[in-house]
Homo-oligomer: A and B are copies of this chain.
Amino acid sequence: MTPVTSIEGALRDALPAAAFRELEPRYLEEPRGRYKGQGGLLIAPGNTEEVSLAVKFAHAAGVPVVPYGGGTGLVGGQIAQDGIEPLIISLERMNAVRAIYPEENVLVAEAGCILQDLHTAVEKEDRLFPLSIAAKGSARIGGNLATNAGGLNVLRYGNARDLCLGLEVVMPNGDVWNGLTRLRKDNTGYDLRNLMIGSEGSLGIITAAALKLFPIPASEGTALFVVPSPEAATELLAMARSHMAEGISAFEIMHRQGWEFLQETMSELRLPYDEAPEWSVLTDVGLAKGLDPAEALETLFAEAFEAGIVTDGLIAQSEQQRTDLWNIRENIPEGNRRIGSISSHDISVPISRIPEFIREGNAAMAALGDVRVNCFGHLGDGNLHYNVFPAAGKSRADYEDLRPAVKSGVHDLVHAYNGSVSAEHGVGRLKVSDLEKYSDPVKLAALRAIKQALDPKGIMNPGVILRA
């Protein structure tokens, strides 16, 4: 491949001056500081035609292209840290909401729209766009789609893939695929849309999307249930869904360890029990007109208590109480950060095997050394954050030698449970060798063939998902 300097002159002639931006350090960094970009040329095109034109130049000359959204990705997908100096294409100027169709529950937005801005835009039309992640204030929808973002409302509404009806994409040769359909049903050929979603910029650049909207639930409620075991938590999930079906919008499991970290590092936080429960579940419901969430949660509590799968609980009676309960869950990552993990894992396993996985994982970790495990997360999606910490009084530095064994111990176990070592963050550049190690070889061969077919010159985000 050829460095971007070879086409810089041509690009400056072809694109308006407004499309050029200074390559500030923020474009070469990512949130966890693991990757550092080595330079390149940054452009911020004003429309799809300019993206197309720029990619055509890059394609003709064989210049690597790195698409750039909000820069919030956690696996290095937005940073080319080595290799030939790339053309970095930021979508930040393409941030128009092209249209909202409240009557058909559709939003058409350009890739550079910030997720939170989309929430605000559709709320004015009394609609909900349910994709929500911690980084929503800076993440851009094009990046959310490129990485098939998950987040808080997957249980009810699905991930980014499930929320997309159509795409506009600049292909690796610069051609524009106009697939910006708003159709709910369209069986005309292979599913190019879902191939692009989750391809992390390695098969093309998403420039706009048609997205699904939803009615805002008539009323919402929150409860904290103390459960005797992870088994009981999975049974409670099934019971809750048989009561309220899609009404269950979040179902999060928490372990005592997470609460103890909060008690230790954020003592100002109000916790509802003096002694942290071994296992608990935080659930959110959003119900239709005519249903009272608190009442529905009380009915669920009574039945679950009777069945012995819930031993105690709290049902929020006000918005303040809802906020207080969610504050516990939402502060767990910050508590973890203050303690400092040996190794953290964003994994998924089949939901019914979660209890077994936790038991076996904890035994394996205990066998490795004196560690503490904080296992919590989106039980409803089978997605756990399985994070391993130093024993009390020790620091992560004491465990440097142990870290590789911890990581591969967790990942090997996930693999043995037919799970995923990247539930929602993607592969990026961070997990390329995990993909090689754990993927079905037939799948991997198919992925390589698809990359070769759609990007024969290998210019689109090289080194992401597949080794360049």
Contact = CB atoms under 8 A, between A and B. Distances in A.
A418 B182 contact: yes
Interface in A178-204: 178-179, 181-192, 194-195, 197-199, 203
A439 B188 contact: yes
Interface string A423-443: 111110001001100111011
11 contacts: A103-B235, A104-B352, A126-B242, A154-B184, A181-B420, A184-B383, A185-B383, A188-B422, A195-B195, A287-B288, A289-B299
Given A103-B234, A190-B465, A238-B103, A348 B183 contact: yes
Contacts of A181: 350, 418, 420
A70 interface: no
B198 A187 contact: yes
Contacts of A445: 175
Residue from A195, A216, A242, A291 having most chain B Cβ neighbours under 10 A: A242
Contact of A171 (B103, B289, B446): B446
A155 to B, nearest CB: 8
B447 A190 contact: yes
Given A244-B288, A289-B244, A289-B296, A185 B453 contact: no
A382 B186 CA distance: 10
A183 B420 contact: yes
Contact of A188 (B105, B289, B351, B431): B431
A101 B422 CA distance: 23
Interface in A204-258: 214-218, 234-235, 237-238, 241-247
A297 to B, nearest CB: 11
Given A178-B442, A187-B427, A189-B447, 4 more contacts: A187-B198, A187-B424, A190-B203, A191-B194
Given A238-B102, A382-B185, A192 B446 contact: yes
Contacts of A198: 187, 189-191
Interface string A373-403: 0000010011100000000000000000000
A341 interface: no
7 tightest A-B CB contacts, nearest first:
A453-B453, A194-B194, A104-B351, A186-B420, A449-B453, A177-B442, A185-B423
Contacts of A454: 446, 449-450
A192 B442 CA distance: 11
A118 interface: no
